[in-house]
Amino acid sequence: MSRREVHESMRVRIEREVCTGAGDCARAVPEVFVMGDDGLARVQEGGIPLGDDAGASGFTLWAEVPDSLASAVEQATADCPGACIVIEHSAPEPEPAPEPEPAPEPEPEPEPKVVAENVAPSPRSSIPKRIGFRLRRLFG
């Protein structure tokens, strides 16, 4: 189980063309189902009845079902004599992909060592030799 809470939501609508108008749903879950003036059931959200779905003839719009009413709506759906209550469960939100690890910084290339080749010795390096040579001439 991740640290993030997995949440599945439910929504419901009614296929009004096959609603019998018996009103069982509205009596069972009045927060979600309401009877219209035409004698057929509707869904409502926050106490506001939702209209017909212009894109799906015969159906009402979808109403979100609060978690606290989900089991009651499922029961009303099972008990509906017209089998016209449609429930849809939204898929749980996918886990966010983990942030990719930043690529390690490449090691800096070591400075190439300059190897002196065929370099004449510094004149200073010959000073002790010359002093030694002179001393040997003087005292040797």
Contacting residues toward ligand SF4, per CB under 6 A: 14, 19-25, 33, 41, 80-82, 84-85
- Output the smallest distance, CB 79 to ligand SF4, in A: 7
Residues 72-101: b if buried by 16+ CB within 10 A, e if exposed: bbbebbeebebebbbbeeeeeeeeeeeeee
Q: Which is nearer to ligand SF4, 39 or 132 (CB)?
A: 39
Instruction: Specify the amino acid at residue 6.
Output: V
Q: By C-beta, is 75 or 126 nearer to ligand SF4?
A: 75
Tell me the closest approach of the beta carbon of residue 15 to ligand SF4, in angstroms.
8
Minimum CB–partner distance for residue 66 and ligand SF4 (Å): 19
Q: Which is nearer to ligand SF4, 23 or 66 (CB)?
A: 23
Nearer to ligand SF4, 21 or 66 (CB): 21
Pairing of strands 85-89, 10-14: antiparallel
d(CA 116, CA 1): 65
CB of 28 to ligand SF4, least distance (A): 8
Contact 98, 43 (CB under 8 A): no
Q: What are phi and psi of 64, to 5 degrees?
A: -70, 140
